[in-house]
Copies of this chain bind each other. A is one copy, B any other.
Amino acid sequence: MNDSQIFLNIQKHIDLTAEERDWISAVLELRDIPKKERVLEQGQICRKLYFVESGSLRAYNSNKQGKESTIMFAVQDWWITDMYSFVNQKPALLSLETLEDSRLYSLDFLALEQLFTKIPKLERFFRILFQKAYVREQLRVLDAISRTTEDRYARFVAKYPQITSKVTQKQIASYLGVTPEFLSSVKK
């Protein structure tokens, strides 16, 4: 397990000793999840942070009228969770669902808190991870409030070709915040 994707991911930003990798391995859980299964249901408290070893997921919110809004996609080598629910341990605003058969590592909330104490370097890793996530979301807000749907669709496809090939147009539409019918008409 010490040479798996997840350690390569962490070691992009910090160095880990063999012992530190062991401590992390000890609390990581690895699970194979079939396609279209939800690992988190909106309303539940999210106890896990997920790392996508293989496969892909979608995080989305459903409003009272049942309209879905996709907040993020995650493919291999990405971290994903309902971060609001995870860090505050409050009911999730999002559901997390696999788009295909996937292999996921999960890190428990309390185990992660203990890892931060045991391996302070991890604070640095997650500082950098959240920093990038913050910048990414801020750019997405800018796109959402300043660009046309046509433009945003083109940029999505250019930025995330791996995702574009895995998801339906309906799901991309719900990521852009438009109806599938309108996205279909925009594509021409």
User: Residues on A close to B: CB < 8 A?
Assistant: 61, 63, 67, 69, 71-72, 83-84, 87, 93, 116, 120-121, 123-124, 126-127, 130-135, 137-142, 144-146, 175-177
Contact = CB atoms under 8 A, between A and B. Distances in A.
Report, nearest first, the 8 A-B pairs whose CB atoms are least far apart: A145-B177, A137-B137, A130-B130, A127-B127, A123-B123, A69-B146, A123-B124, A133-B134
20 contacts: A61-B146, A71-B138, A83-B135, A84-B135, A116-B124, A120-B123, A120-B124, A123-B127, A126-B127, A126-B131, A127-B130, A130-B134, A133-B134, A140-B141, A141-B141, A144-B177, A145-B175, A145-B176, A145-B177, A146-B177
Contacts of A126: 127, 131
Contact of A137 (B124, B141, B176): B141
Where chain A touches its partner, the secondary structure class is helix
Contacts of A137: 134, 137-138, 140-141
A140 to B, nearest CB: 6
A131 to B, nearest CB: 5
Contact of A142 (B93, B131, B133, B145): B93
Contacts of A133: 130, 134
Contact of A141 (B71, B116, B127): B71
A19 to B, nearest CB: 18
A146 B84 contact: no
A114 to B, nearest CB: 14
